Amino acid sequence: MRITAAIARTPRAPLELAELEIEPPREDEVLVRVVACGVCHTDLVCRDQELPVPLPAVLGHEGAGIVEQVGGRVATVRPGDKVLLSYDSCGGCPSCRAAAPFYCHQFGPFNFGCRRPDGTTPLRAEAVEVGGRFFGQSAFATHCIARERNLVRVAPDAPLETYAPLGCGVQTGAGTVMNALRPEAGSSIAVFGCGTVGLSAILGAVLQGCARILAVDPNPARREMARAFGATDLLDPKATNDVPAAVRELLGEGGAGSSVECTGLPEVAAQAAACLAPRGVCAIVGAAPADAAYTFPAMPLLVQGWTIRGVIEGESRPAEFLPRLIALHGQGRFPFDRMIRRYPFTEINEAMAASARGEAIKPVLVM
C-alpha cells in the first residue's frame, strides 16, 4: 500500500514528503489511517540527532486516526474505530508486569529504535528501508502501523484533531503532577518552561488543588498563557540573577513544595532543584541531549532532604489516563486545546520551525 510520509533523512534538515510502501499489519499490529498528529519537542531533538535515532526514519508520536485493518491476534479494536496513539512498551518486563509500562525495561528500543524487536520496519522507499516504528507509530504519515498495546480507543464522535496531543506532551505534563508528584491540596509548585508539557503541568496542578502555582518562562506570551491556565505567580528568569532565590521570595515557606523541569536544559534543572523547600520533590521531564549531565549541590540535597527524580510520559497508563483527561476536558476543567495551532500536513516543516521558535505551543498536523 502506498502512503505519504515525512522522512527525516539527515540531521537538522527539513523533512521530506515522499511516497512510501507500507506493509500490511502483522498478527499483533494495527493499520491506522492518521487523521492528525501533534508535533512534540522530542520530534525536533530526534530529527536533529540530539537524541539519536536511526535515519532515515518517519517521526511523529502523537498520532490520532481511524483503524483500517487489524492483525489476527488483535482483540480490543476493529476497523472503523477512532484511536489515539501513545508510547510503546514490551509488555513482558518487570515494569510492564507491574503496570508501569512507562518504565519499560525496553523503552529505548521500543520507542527510539524505529524498528520492530526483530529489526524489521514496515516502511520502505523502493529498495531502501525507512524507520517506521518511532514510538511504536511513526505518525508523520497518512497511515501508520501501531500495536494494540499503544492504542487507546475513543468515542465515535471524538475530535481527533483536538485529542492527538494527549498521547505524549499533554499526558506527560499533566501526569507528572497528577500521577507522579501528587502534590497535596494547598501546596506550592514551580513549573519551569511553559510549552505544552509545562502548561499541561499547570493544568494538572490546578486540578490537584495547589494554592500557589509559579510559572517560570522567558517568553511573556507563554507566561500569560500560564496565568490563563491557572498559574498564580509568574517569573521571567531573565529578570533575576538568582532564579531559585526569586522563587523562594515569591512562594515563601522556604521555597516550592515541588517543581517540574520541562525545558531539557541542565542549568534549568539545577534551578528547579535549588528552588525547593525542605523535603521538596523536583521532577525532571524535559528531553535533554543524550550526552547531557545534571549538577546539583550536594549539601542542600542531603540536609534538606530533596528528592530529584525523572518522570517519563507522566507515568501515564494511556488506556486509563487519556479517557480521564478527555472527561476533564469535556467538563471544561482541562482546556488543553487552547494550546493547539493546526497546520496542513504539507506544512510540517513550517509547523516544526514555529515550534522551535516558540511561536506555536502545540502544532497539530491535519492529514
137 and 213 co-located in one domain = no
Indicate if the pLDDT at residue 287 is higher than 90.
Answer: no
Question: Residue 298's CB: how many other CB atoms inside 10 A?
Answer: 8
Per residue in 2-39, pLDDT (tens digit) is 999 999 999 999 999 999 999 999 999 999 999 999 99
Residues 6+ apart with CB under 8 A from 7: 15, 16, 17, 18, 20, 56, 57, 58, 125, 130
Q: State the CATH number of the domain containing residue 34.
A: 3.90.180.10
Is residue 330 one of the residues assigned to a domain? no
CA distance linking residue 335 with residue 203, whole number of Å: 8
Per residue in 145-155, pLDDT (tens digit) is 999 999 999 99
The domain containing residue 234 runs over which residues?
173-311
222 and 262 co-located in one domain = yes
158 and 177 co-located in one domain = no
Per residue in 153-211, pLDDT (tens digit) is 999 999 999 999 999 999 999 999 999 999 999 999 999 999 999 999 999 999 999 99
- 190 membership: H or E segment, kind and range: strand 188-192
161 and 181 co-located in one domain = no
Q: Give the CA-trace dihedral at 290, 292, 297, 300, to 10 degrees.
A: -30
Note the pLDDT of residue 288. Answer: 85
Domain count for the chain, please give it: 2
96 and 129 co-located in one domain = yes
Provide the whole-model pTM.
0.96
Is residue 324 one of the residues assigned to a domain? no
Per residue in 302-348, pLDDT (tens digit) is 999 999 999 999 999 999 999 999 999 999 999 999 999 999 999 99
